[in-house]
Chains A and B, each alone.
Chain A
C-alpha cells in the first residue's frame, strides 16, 4: 500500500458510535482504530472484573462492532482497539460469538496479552526494580499492598504481529492510544524499526486521531460557533504516505478540519514538544507545521523522531480511600449566602459526628466550582445570582466515614436556610484510586500475539 487511510473511531470509553459507523461506511478507510483507555480506566475495569469475572473490558465496543462489522468486511476496513482493557480474553470471546451470530466464518481476531503485570510486582521487586514514581513523590512501600492494577504501556511490535497474521479485528489492553494507529502504518508501508522520523510521523497521526471528535471541531475553542452540524460530528481521518500526512474527515458529516482544530489537538497532553516520549519513539514536534491543504484537509509536516527509550511506563493504580460529593440548590434572593449557611451547618454537624476526613472541599456551582480562585466574586454579581448549587466533597480513609455525610444533606431542605432543593438522589461513595506511574526495563515485559480464527 502506498497510502494508508485510517480513522479515529472513539475518543474515550463512553463516546458516541455514530462517527465511527459513518466513517466505516463512507470514509474510504483501510483501518479504523478505537481508543477506550484513559489513565484510570484500567483500574475501574479491574474493579468491575473483581465483581464480575466476565466484565473488565469496554463492552461498548461490542455494540459498535455489531453495528459496523458487515460494512467493515464489505469495505475492507480492519479495526484495532484497546477495548480489551483488563479482560482481553472476555472481550475476544464476545467478539467471536458476534462473528458466529452474523455467520462470518473464517474471520480472524488478533489479540495481545501480557500488559497486565499486576501479578508480577513481587517478581520484579525481587529482580531489583524499585518502582520509583516518575513524578518523584511518595514511597512505593506504602502503596504496594494496596495495588488495584499494574499495566504497562507498549508499542507496535505485537500489534504488527497480529496484522501479519491477517487479523480482521485486533484487541489489546494497554497498548498506547497512538500505537493503535502507528502499527498499521508501519505494517503497510514497511517503515523500518529504526526509521525514527517516520515512526514519529505515525505517532503524531495517531495523536491527532486518538481523541475522536476533539480532533474535528469538538471541544474547539477557536471558533466553536462556526463548527457545522455538530449533531453529526465527523471524527478525524489520516491519509498517510511516505511523502504526506493529511488530516481530513469523511464526506457528508459535520465538524471541521482546519489549521486551528488540528493545532488544539496537536499539543494536547503533550508536555515537552521536543521530547514526546512514547514506547515507539521520542517525537520532536517543536518545528512542526500545520497547513490548510483544501477544504477540511490539513497537511502535517516537520515532525522528527529520535530513538525510543529503553524503559516502558508501568501505570499502577492503588486504593487510596473513598470520596463522596453531595449537592443542594438554592435560589434568589441571597442564594450564595444561603448556600454558605447550609455549608456551615453541615460542617458543624460533621464536627459533632466526629467526621475524620482527609480533605474537605466546598464549592458553589454556578459561581466558583470550575474557575475556583479566578472566578468573578464581585459582590454585586454574587448578590444577584439567580441560583446556586452547594457542593460539598469529602475524602476519607474509611468507607463508613464517607457515608456519614450522605444522610445529612437532604434534611437541610426543611432544617436549613429557606428554599433549599435537593436533587439527584442520595450520593454514592466512590473508591479513590491513586495513580503511580513508574518506569520498568523493556526486557521485563513479555507480550504475546495471538490469533483466533472463527470456525
Chain B
C-alpha cells in the first residue's frame, strides 16, 4: 500500500447552493473507481474537513460515470454573502477535497 493524494487518481469540481457545497469526483481510470469507493467514505470526508463542514455529508455513487457526488451541508461558513470566508462560494472546496490522503494498492500505481 502506498499513501497518495486523492488528486492522483481522481479529478472533479466543487459548486455551491447557499451554504451547501457539492464536490463531484471522477476516477482518472476506471480501475480507480473501487479504490475511491473504498477509501473516500463519508466518515473519511468528515474527518478530513473537520470543522470546515458543520452539517450532514451525503455521498452519491454514479458508476456509469465512474464518479461520486459528495454533498456537504453547512460547509461554506454561512454561504454567500453571509460567509466571511475569502472563498465564500467554495470554488476551492474541490482542491481541498483532493488533498485527502488515501491508500492505493501498489499494483494499481502507474
Q: Which residues does A use to contact B, with CB under 8 Å?
A: 39-40, 135, 214, 219, 221-222, 260, 263-274, 285-290, 302, 320, 323, 325, 359-361, 363, 365, 369-374, 391, 393-395, 430-435, 437
Contact = CB atoms under 8 A, between A and B. Distances in A.
Interface string B20-43: 101010101000000000000000
11 contacts: A39-B17, A221-B13, A267-B67, A268-B15, A285-B62, A288-B65, A320-B81, A370-B92, A374-B99, A395-B82, A435-B18
Given A264-B26, A273-B69, A371 B95 contact: yes
A363 B86 contact: yes
B96 interface: yes
B26 A260 contact: yes
A448 to B, nearest CB: 29
B69 A271 contact: yes
A434 B83 CA distance: 10
Given A285-B62, A287-B64, 17 more contacts: A222-B26, A222-B28, A264-B11, A267-B24, A269-B22, A270-B22, A270-B69, A271-B71, A289-B65, A320-B81, A371-B95, A372-B52, A373-B50, A393-B84, A434-B82, A435-B18, A437-B18
A72 to B, nearest CB: 30
A18 B17 CA distance: 28
B84 to A, nearest CB: 4
Given A260-B11, A371-B99, A289 B64 contact: yes
B51 interface: yes
Contact of B15 (A40, A260, A269): A269
B64 A286 contact: yes
A361 B62 contact: no
A273 B18 contact: no
A274 B11 CA distance: 21
A374 B96 contact: yes
Contact of B60 (A269, A273, A323, A365): A273
Contacts of A222: 11, 26, 28
B109 interface: no
Contacts of B7: 221
A288 B24 CA distance: 15
A55 to B, nearest CB: 19
A325 B88 CA distance: 12
A270 B69 CA distance: 8
Residue of A135, A260, A372 most packed against chain B (CB within 10 A): A372
B46 interface: no
Contact of B80 (A40, A365, A393): A40
Given A286-B62, A323-B81, A265 B13 contact: yes
Contact of A373 (B22, B49, B69, B92): B49
Nearest to A323: B84
A361 B67 contact: no
Contacts of A272: 58, 60, 69, 71
A431 B82 CA distance: 9
Nearest to A434: B82
A304 B70 CA distance: 21
Contacts of B13: 214, 219, 221, 264-265, 268
Contacts of B22: 267-271
A269 B18 CA distance: 11
Given A264-B11, A371-B96, A435-B79, A361 B85 contact: yes
B53 to A, nearest CB: 10
Given A219-B13, A268-B13, A269-B16, A263 B87 contact: no
B86 A433 contact: no
